[in-house]
Amino acid sequence: MSQPTPLPAAPATPATREACTGLAAQVEHHLLHTMATAPAAASPIDLLGAVSQAVRGELSRRWVQGDAADRAAQARRVVYLSMEFLIGRSLGNALDALGLGAAAGNSVAGHAHTLEEIEGQERDAALGNGGLGRLAACFLDAMATRGLPSFGYGIRYEFGMFAQSIAGGRQIEHPDPWLEDGTPWEFPRPDVVHPVRFGGWVEHPESPDVPPIWRHAGTVQAKAYDMVVPGYGTERVSTLRLWKAVAPAHIDLHAFNSGDYARAAEFKNAFENISWVLYPNDSTPAGRELRLKQEYFFTSASIQDVLARHLAEHGRLTNLADKVAIHLNDTHPAIGVAELLRLLVDEHGFAWTPAWRITQRVFSYTNHTLMPEALETWPVSLFQQVLPRHLEIIFRINHELMVEAQAARPGDLDFMRRLSLIDESGERRVRMAHLAVAGSHQVNGVSALHSKLLVQTIFADFALLWPERFGNVTNGVTPRRWLAQANRPLSALIDQRIGTGWRRDLAQLAQLGPLADEATFRAEFMAAKQANKRRLARLIANSTGTAVDPDSLFDVQVKRFHEYKRQLLNLLHVVTRYRAILAQPQGPDGQGWQPRTVIFAGKAASGYAMAKQIIRLIHDVGRVVNHDARIGDRLKLVFVPNYGVSLAEVIMPGADLSQQISTAGTEASGTGNMKLALNGALTIGTDDGANIEIRQAVGDDNIFIFGRRASEVTAIRAAGYQPMRLYESLPQLKAVLDAIASGAFSPDEPGRYRGLVDALLWGGDHYLLLADYEDYLATQLQVDALYRDPQAWARKAIANVAAMGSFSADRAIGEYARRIWQVAPGT
């Protein structure tokens, strides 16, 4: 990776004094003129508005400057298409990027508030479900920071990820009207509008020279709203352009003329609901028509926008692939392959073959999952109805693919069947991943293991045909948000010891390695952790009512709830430990129990009954454990509701132990694993996803790896896995499952968890919880033993931080830029 120049530290030079007075004056100005508030009476919300407006002005200036420079240079641009951008809050991030944090702190101090308090008033922009959406946000931050001329494109959902509350131990979902009070971070572009068409049929003129005509049934307008993404320590910014669906004007006119407002409103809704709400599914696609419309809506608008910009700059599209790289974040925008072909052939006069060549050179695709049930497919009948012209184009791509397959392996019909863009095994369906692979010049997975498994499993046939197309780019996270902003105590300590350059060059953290030998550094490091744990304990007390002891081991599993992530395995350990404490109060070895606080957070997809049941069980177990006087402070179990980016920023820095315990071969990468290690948590995890690379980076002695490896998982399943045998042979396990199944934690409804336990014992335990149980317990005891030796623990925690250099989003974006997009960073 090329090493960006480190930024100078920022002492109170004349320049920063100027920034202070400049920003303070701006804030006072906006209090009066934008917020319409008497500055002396400004509330935290007023201050949030005023500081944000001051920052917005600077972002706006930078955007205009960068845009002009890119146009003048006719720069090659990266276009990142993603259904999800899980941004979180923006103010703190922008202040740090602009170097205005101290100035803003002074300015709000003048109104008797702290910056933390003001920043805490901002709502999260939660336009994503989890890992994939947060990765897109980290990548935008890295692209801006590396100075890549880049655009993110997505949907301006009116409602983001649902908010979660807990009632009687159960998850309740609430809408997230994040735009309710407006947002200072968007720049509406009323003049940037593209029509997106749906439905109808296709006419084929007699002459082969005349392209087919799509007689569409309806049009919706896509209106652009930009969010400016500041780069850290550079004037460069990136643009996130989000599309809002608006009904065509004639519908309003119709209402005006006929007076039938109700019917007109219905029509209007049918169009505008396209950008109404984020689909709250994680990993398993819900095959709804509206979802397909969302995908096409934002993809079409984005590609039209790209072509319009290119034509304005170059006057022709023949050199499109030299000037634009379009990246598909999973298959959600894969329809873009057919859409670009359609635009080139039907609307810009290209012949098929050159259009196809351009398309393949323009697109690249990242896969984020191996699980077959999570791969997107759409019924051919639905496609016919919603996107008839695209279906034709997909059939033509498929025809050429079949010819190529036939040439590669003559007579191998199974090979053709497996490669086909159309799954013919039942109701015919379009395989979006196959469309994405066929239409891209590069395809990558998100960790070394995942990328290897991709070419061995779901893309094995494509890899035979086009081996050079497949590669790996391991995920990364932005050190600005996930260390510098989220963990002020630790970042101040790091700054003091190695300077501030790690924010732009995370590899510099390696310089912390030798400091692990220094007792003072260890003490300071653990003092920072302790401060973060106290902050987290306050949050836990406020949100759950449970008091937890910051001196106990904080054991954290925070992520979406899914069976493959095995939150239930974590809970089996908690119940085991609870029973063991009661049985052996003196501890497993007579030395007492290491006090532990087990912390969960995460959302379950609203329709995912098993995941919701696990959340409920956590609450039921927590109620029993936390109120059992015999347990005292040796074990606490809490569930922090409404997990999201802002909560993660408090939880990650306060963690001692990071649980990354998915069944080997199921978690594509994970990124929470990186954030937690970067904040000095030790990982207990399986040999899965990026855990493997984290282990290689930190060394076997600095991580707790347990359980079956991916190859063993496959072998166990192939040999006929029998969870019941484990139940019968492991008395502790049997007792724990019997307790849960018989209502020990749900006395008001003893049968509540019978089904959950039966799914393990009789339902095949698909994710092999029981197979990994014993090793997991033994490894947890090793964790306790190490934690009892604070100096040894501190050494390993420091070693983890020092080894996280390569898990920066800047490194990942550097690899994408060089190997996949062939674009050089602008600075």
User: Which residues are 429's β-sheet partners?
Assistant: 379, 423
The residue within the footprint of ligand 26Q, chosen from 4, 49, 101, 130 (CB under 6 A), is 130
Supply the minimum distance, in Å, between the C-beta of residue 427 and ligand 26Q. Answer: 17
The residue within the footprint of ligand 26Q, chosen from 233, 285, 476, 622 (CB under 6 A), is 285
Size of the site for ligand 26Q (CB under 6 A): 24
SS3 89: coil
- Please tell me the distance from the alpha carbon of residue 345 to that of residue 343, in angstroms, as a whole number: 6
The region of 212-220, 422-430, 662-670, 764-772 touching ligand 26Q under the rule CB under 6 A is 662-670
Rounded to 5°, the CA angle 387-389-394 comes to 90
The region of 155-163, 479-487, 594-602, 668-676 touching ligand 26Q under the rule CB under 6 A is 668-676
- Please tell me the distance from the alpha carbon of residue 330 to that of residue 425, in angstroms, as a whole number: 24
Nearest Cα neighbor of 301 from 202, 190, 153 is 153
- Please tell me the distance from the alpha carbon of residue 405 to that of residue 122, in angstroms, as a whole number: 54
Site for ligand 26Q in 358-377 (CB under 6 A): 368-369, 374, 376
The residue within the footprint of ligand 26Q, chosen from 64, 109, 210, 286 (CB under 6 A), is 286
Does 667 bind ligand 26Q (CB under 6 A)? Our answer is yes
Residues in contact with 564: Cβ distance below 8 Å, sequence separation at least 6, in sequence order: 371, 662, 663, 666, 667, 767
Catalytic residue among 146, 504, 529, 560: 560
- Please tell me the distance from the alpha carbon of residue 329 to that of residue 366, in angstroms, as a whole number: 6
Q: Which two tokens stand for residue 47?
A: 């201050």
The region of 35-43, 277-285, 340-348, 633-641 touching ligand 26Q under the rule CB under 6 A is 277-285
SS3 818: helix
Nearest Cα neighbor of 230 from 6, 485, 55 is 55
The residue within the footprint of ligand 26Q, chosen from 63, 198, 279, 643 (CB under 6 A), is 279
Q: What is the DSSP track for 648-691?
A: HHHHGGG-SEEEE-PPTTT-S--SHHHHHHHTTPEEEE-S-TTH
Active site residue 675: yes
The residue within the footprint of ligand 26Q, chosen from 143, 161, 446, 568 (CB under 6 A), is 446
Does 663 bind ligand 26Q (CB under 6 A)? Our answer is no
Supply the minimum distance, in Å, between the C-beta of residue 84 and ligand 26Q. Answer: 7
Catalytic residue among 327, 368, 577, 752: 368
Active site residue 560: yes
Supply the minimum distance, in Å, between the C-beta of residue 157 and ligand 26Q. Answer: 13
Which of 184, 670 has the CB closer to ligand 26Q?
Answer: 670
Active site residue 565: yes
Active site residue 30: no
The residue within the footprint of ligand 26Q, chosen from 302, 364, 377, 475 (CB under 6 A), is 475
CB-based contact 723:703 (threshold 8 Å):
no
Determine which helix (DSSP H) or strand (DSSP E) holds 549, and give its type and residue range: none
- Please tell me the distance from the alpha carbon of residue 655 to that of residue 647, in angstroms, as a whole number: 13
Catalytic residue among 469, 559, 573, 708: 559
Does 476 bind ligand 26Q (CB under 6 A)? Our answer is no
Does 277 bind ligand 26Q (CB under 6 A)? Our answer is no
Which of 282, 524 has the CB closer to ligand 26Q?
Answer: 282
The residue within the footprint of ligand 26Q, chosen from 169, 231, 689, 814 (CB under 6 A), is 689
CB-based contact 700:750 (threshold 8 Å):
no
CB-based contact 255:226 (threshold 8 Å):
no
Which of 240, 798 has the CB closer to ligand 26Q?
Answer: 240
Does 671 bind ligand 26Q (CB under 6 A)? Our answer is yes
Q: Which two tokens stand for residue 203?
A: 């006419």
Supply the minimum distance, in Å, between the C-beta of residue 123 and ligand 26Q. Answer: 22
Residues in contact with 623: Cβ distance below 8 Å, sequence separation at least 6, in sequence order: 169, 745
Within 10 A of 547 (CB to CB), how many other CB atoms are there? Answer: 12
Which of 455, 799 has the CB closer to ligand 26Q?
Answer: 455
Supply the minimum distance, in Å, between the C-beta of residue 24 and ligand 26Q. Answer: 40
Does 34 bind ligand 26Q (CB under 6 A)? Our answer is no
Question: What is the four-CA torsion angle of 121, 676, 608, 291, rounded to 10 degrees?
Answer: 70
Site for ligand 26Q in 505-524 (CB under 6 A): none
Supply the minimum distance, in Å, between the C-beta of residue 656 and ligand 26Q. Answer: 22
CB-based contact 215:221 (threshold 8 Å):
no
Supply the minimum distance, in Å, between the C-beta of residue 781 and ligand 26Q. Answer: 28
Does 668 bind ligand 26Q (CB under 6 A)? Our answer is yes
Pairing, β 704-705 against β 682-685: parallel
Binding site for ligand 26Q (CB under 6 A): 129-132, 135, 279, 281-283, 285-286, 291, 368-369, 374, 376, 446, 475, 667-671, 689
Catalytic residues: 368, 559-560, 565, 671, 675
